[in-house]
Structure 1
Amino acid sequence: MNPQERWLRLLSPERLGAAAEHLAGHSPDRSRFQQDYDRIVFTSALRRLKDKTQVFPLAQSDYVRTRLTHSLEASCVGRSLGSMVGRAIVDRHGLAPEVHPSDFGAVVAAACLAHDIGNPPFGHAGEDAMRAWFASHSANLAGLDPDQRADLLNYEGNAQGFRILTHLQNPTNPGGLQLTCAVLATFAKYPRRSHLAEPLTGKSARKFGYFQAEAALFAEVADTVGLIPRAEGAWFRHPLTFLVEAADDTCYLVVDIEDGVQQGCVAPEQAEALLLDLAGGISAATRLKHLEDPKRRIEYLRARAIGRLVDEAARIFLENEAAILDGSFDHALFDVSPVGESLQAVRKVAEEQIYNARQVMEVMAAGYEVISGLLDGYVAGACGPQSARNRVWANLLPADFERTAGDSNYLRLLQVADMIAGMTDSHAVSAYRRLKGIELPG
């Protein structure tokens, strides 16, 4: 398959689960990829990100980012990056008129908007808490096959995101939101199942991207866009996923430093030096000498740094297009870029001074207790013996909770994980306090 044919298949506008009659009527003014973006915007799962941790959990300041503002920023960067790459690819392989450069931007923007939609409360600490709970309560995993056990023991927000988009958000629809296969494949940063017979190497195999409950849906997406298989239940990434990753890395590393200054974790002078280096030095940031307010100086340098990173990510992608298309390139774009060293310096400061700051760690520690406590009760209600206490917890499960799970507890456990992962930080804390008797319902 030549590059032109490959890109046309990778950008398939076919919708997952949609009947053929619903695929007609493509509007030239609003592509299916743009429609996907809009569908994601109006989901309740995206709205909940407004009260989910980016770095500073339950922050009182209205300045720092939440998962929602981070996702919006990433989608803007992703659209610019995708359109820039798309213009070159369309010209390079003669994809017009079937494909417009804006289609690349729309696909990447939609995938960026949804990239954190499966995150549980308290961010990565929430994922760790869920994994730790299932590991220490292995009796609940009795009867599960190796894939199902690995889904829970290695619980992953990326897989939860795919489940939300393809099932949970519109559960009565085949394919859930019925997004295009191009957007769903681009969303999948880690296109593999949780349990592998042999370990795989490379950036795209570091985590997993779908639960066994959605294995057939993921395989359908992969087949539709022509992802290259690499093992049973595993594929090489969709090429545009590298742009989603670059947009995410650009936003969270650069803006976390900005938020760190606001929260008192990073000195303004230190942040300026880091961002100025990322921006390309004083020759690339000529307006800096006209700005005196520290806040404005950092905002300006943040914008210049993001602009340089977008240009650099596009350059690396286009230089390595052939290897990205055939699956032999499996690195983050910035890992093979001259800006990689500057980004590592930013990452080091973020890890030492922001992510491990006492104010972050204290709330994260509380998050472990909250999520573990909720799992204790809800799993007992969903899967435990019919004791008086467990019946109370069972009655607290949502009305649409499916209590039939065949011969194993897998779907019941997954539904409990769905419920807790869908909570905002504040709601999880409030539910824990009420259900543990720390406070009574008003």
Structure 2
Amino acid sequence: MNWEQLLSLKRHGDTHKRLRKEQDETRLGFEVDYDRVIFSSAFRSLQDKTQVVPLSKTDFVHTRLTHSLEVSVVGRSLGRKVGKKLLEKYPHLQEVHGFQFNDFGAIVAAAALAHDIGNPPFGHSGERAIGEYFKIGNGTQFQSKLTAKEYQDLCDFEGNANGFKILTENRKGVDGSLRLSYATLGAFMKYPKQSLPKKPTKHIADKKYGIFQSQKEAFTDVANELGLLQQGEGDDIRYARHPLTFLVEAADDICYTIIDFEDGINLGLIQEEKALEYLINLVRDTIHKEKYSALQHREDRLSYLRALSINTLIEDAVRIFLENEEAIRAGDFSVGIMEKSKYKAQIEDIIKISFEKIYKSEEVIEKEITGYHVLQHLLNTFISAVENHHNDSLSSYDKLILKVLPETVDYKTNHLYHRLMNVTNYISRLSDSQAVLLFNKLTAKTV
């Protein structure tokens, strides 16, 4: 893979090349990507989607929106620092093509901003709830009517693939959805492969999948434009990651490691003294002890350690990427950047505490149970109505249910997979509170 292609400014529907040296510096294409994501309705819904604690009413716990903004800030720093060094290593990128180090930061920031845009309500438990509706719930009735890959898309419903669908899906009069640059779309794709065939390997890109069957054409178009290395054969559509994806992932890893931990402290799930000691272990080589000792309030101590920890991990991630840049472009780097961190032991200690004290806490588990019940009921209600419409067996109740669906949801298509995916995508776009409110309206219950 070469950087000239990887930094493509092309957008869906373009009929000519967009050259970097011809860009308007006051409205740079990669920066437009960021604007388009932040003004999208799908991004706004993240303000009420779970990051750590579903349906949390406290004002200091992160939502998916605040998390995404923070990841984008870290991603921008990572991209700029890496970009500066890459232009020194490959000066023709600047001298011939006109790329600037800020371009790398803008691409990573935009992709990072969008990285959770496809996540359903209630976080990863929401993904599982949707998947299990089709795997072991009423959705099993559709298995024999779908291809293996179509059915797997639903059984292993994946927020990353849903995000790519949201960013690229055509609608009547709206081709290419947000029409982001292909460089940003490439950096967004953490798992550039289909749900099948499953090939369990230790390679980070094989951990999950990132493309629904409905987006194969768009995905292949982006991958070919960027010159991503094709690794699958025939109908096994699979590519190597865009190198900047590793920076998007690193930004996410850095933020959830440190900031989820911070939320646990603020929620009282992790004892302050113990928690601060873990953070101090991470920044022991860079902490200014006198400055830290002078801080009187927990909020100030935590803020100082958070900032220092994030900066420490940013510098380490940049080092790892640059040391492995050629292997990454060759598709030979098989782990996430932070797996190579010299602070790996400290990171693992923090994640272990977060898992035990936060993710397995009674409050989180109770809210996840609510999420399962809500999402599976919504799926069953809307899919039943849509299928009854297709089979000309609508009840009066079904007719009322269909009126709830936004006009953007195409449930009249004759293709079963698209009907199911469109309804599922609609439910996945709901915020946590919207999902609960809709459930309450349909059941006349309060949860």
1:50-107 deviations in Å (ceiling 9; x for gaps): 0000001111111111100000000000000100000000100112132110000000
Aligned length, in residue pairs: 433
1:195-222 deviations in Å (ceiling 9; x for gaps): 1175554111111111111100000000
Shift of 1:156: 0.3
Q: Does structure 1 conserve the Cα–Cα contact (< 8 Å) formed by 2:411 and 2:422?
A: no
Shift of 1:163: 0.6
Q: One-letter code of the match for 1:96?
A: Q
Q: One-letter code of the match for 1:336?
A: K
Shift of 1:285: 5.3
| Partner in structure 1 of residue 140 of structure 2 | 138
Q: Does structure 1 conserve the Cα–Cα contact (< 8 Å) formed by 2:189 and 2:210?
A: yes
| Partner in structure 2 of residue 344 of structure 1 | 348
Q: Does structure 2 conserve the Cα–Cα contact (< 8 Å) formed by 1:162 and 1:188?
A: yes
Q: Does structure 1 conserve the Cα–Cα contact (< 8 Å) formed by 2:186 and 2:242?
A: yes
| Partner in structure 2 of residue 330 of structure 1 | 334
1:90 aligns to 2:90 (yes or no): no
**Aligned equivalents of 1:153, 1:418: Cα separation in 2:** 14
**Aligned equivalents of 2:74, 2:19: Cα separation in 1:** 29
- 1:235 aligned counterpart, secondary structure: coil
1:235-289 deviations in Å (ceiling 9; x for gaps): 1100000000010011111011111111110111111111111223464555211
| Partner in structure 1 of residue 118 of structure 2 | 118
Q: Does structure 2 conserve the Cα–Cα contact (< 8 Å) formed by 1:227 and 1:235?
A: yes
Q: Does structure 2 conserve the Cα–Cα contact (< 8 Å) formed by 1:15 and 1:23?
A: no
| Partner in structure 1 of residue 299 of structure 2 | 295
Q: Does structure 2 conserve the Cα–Cα contact (< 8 Å) formed by 1:141 and 1:410?
A: no
**Aligned equivalents of 2:275, 2:249: Cα separation in 1:** 23
* Distance verdict in 2 for CA 1:285–1:251, change over 3 Å: farther
| Partner in structure 2 of residue 230 of structure 1 | 231
* Distance verdict in 2 for CA 1:330–1:356, change over 3 Å: same
| Partner in structure 2 of residue 211 of structure 1 | 212
Q: Does structure 1 conserve the Cα–Cα contact (< 8 Å) formed by 2:10 and 2:18?
A: no
* Distance verdict in 2 for CA 1:380–1:9, change over 3 Å: same
1:396 aligns to 2:388 (yes or no): no
Q: Does structure 1 conserve the Cα–Cα contact (< 8 Å) formed by 2:131 and 2:156?
A: yes
| Partner in structure 1 of residue 47 of structure 2 | 50
* Distance verdict in 2 for CA 1:367–1:41, change over 3 Å: same
Shift of 1:18: 3.2
Q: Does structure 2 conserve the Cα–Cα contact (< 8 Å) formed by 1:141 and 1:409?
A: no
**Aligned equivalents of 2:419, 2:313: Cα separation in 1:** 44
* Distance verdict in 2 for CA 1:294–1:274, change over 3 Å: same
**Aligned equivalents of 1:171, 1:334: Cα separation in 2:** 42
Q: Does structure 1 conserve the Cα–Cα contact (< 8 Å) formed by 2:46 and 2:431?
A: yes
Percent identity reads: 39
Q: Does structure 2 conserve the Cα–Cα contact (< 8 Å) formed by 1:274 and 1:346?
A: yes
Task: Summarize the alignment of residues 18-417 of structure 1 with structure 2, pairs less than 5 Å apart.
Answer: 18-20=14-16, 26-94=23-91, 95-97=93-95, 98-136=98-136, 137-167=139-169, 172-196=173-197, 198-231=199-232, 232-281=236-285, 283=287, 286-384=290-388, 386-388=393-395, 389-406=397-414, 408-417=415-424
Shift of 1:150: 1.0
Q: Does structure 1 conserve the Cα–Cα contact (< 8 Å) formed by 2:76 and 2:108?
A: yes
**Aligned equivalents of 1:415, 1:285: Cα separation in 2:** 55
Q: One-letter code of the match for 2:28?
A: S
Q: One-letter code of the match for 2:153?
A: D
Q: Does structure 2 conserve the Cα–Cα contact (< 8 Å) formed by 1:85 and 1:314?
A: yes
- 2:335 aligned counterpart, secondary structure: coil
**Aligned equivalents of 1:273, 1:21: Cα separation in 2:** 53
**Aligned equivalents of 2:422, 2:345: Cα separation in 1:** 42
Say which is worse superposed, 317-326 or 279-288, in terms of deviation.
279-288
Q: Does structure 1 conserve the Cα–Cα contact (< 8 Å) formed by 2:83 and 2:103?
A: yes
1:413-435 deviations in Å (ceiling 9; x for gaps): 00111110010100100100110
1:102-132 deviations in Å (ceiling 9; x for gaps): 0000000000000000110001010010011
Q: Does structure 2 conserve the Cα–Cα contact (< 8 Å) formed by 1:280 and 1:308?
A: no
Gaps of 5+ in 2: none
Q: Does structure 1 conserve the Cα–Cα contact (< 8 Å) formed by 2:280 and 2:287?
A: no
**Aligned equivalents of 2:378, 2:13: Cα separation in 1:** 33
Q: Does structure 1 conserve the Cα–Cα contact (< 8 Å) formed by 2:10 and 2:17?
A: no
Q: One-letter code of the match for 1:225?
A: L
Say which is worse superposed, 140-149 or 74-83, in terms of deviation.
140-149
| Partner in structure 2 of residue 8 of structure 1 | 4
Q: Does structure 1 conserve the Cα–Cα contact (< 8 Å) formed by 2:193 and 2:237?
A: yes
Q: One-letter code of the match for 1:125?
A: S
**Aligned equivalents of 2:19, 2:7: Cα separation in 1:** 15
1:301-336 deviations in Å (ceiling 9; x for gaps): 000000000000000000011110101102011111
**Aligned equivalents of 1:184, 1:416: Cα separation in 2:** 24
* Distance verdict in 2 for CA 1:285–1:181, change over 3 Å: farther
1:17 maps to which of 13, 16, 20: 13
- 1:378 aligned counterpart, secondary structure: helix
Say which is worse superposed, 185-194 or 19-28, in terms of deviation.
19-28
* Distance verdict in 2 for CA 1:70–1:19, change over 3 Å: same
Q: One-letter code of the match for 1:87?
A: K
**Aligned equivalents of 2:442, 2:253: Cα separation in 1:** 38
**Aligned equivalents of 2:99, 2:161: Cα separation in 1:** 29
* Distance verdict in 2 for CA 1:365–1:236, change over 3 Å: same
1:424 maps to which of 419, 423, 431: 431
- 2:69 aligned counterpart, secondary structure: helix
Q: Does structure 2 conserve the Cα–Cα contact (< 8 Å) formed by 1:285 and 1:304?
A: no
- 2:231 aligned counterpart, secondary structure: strand
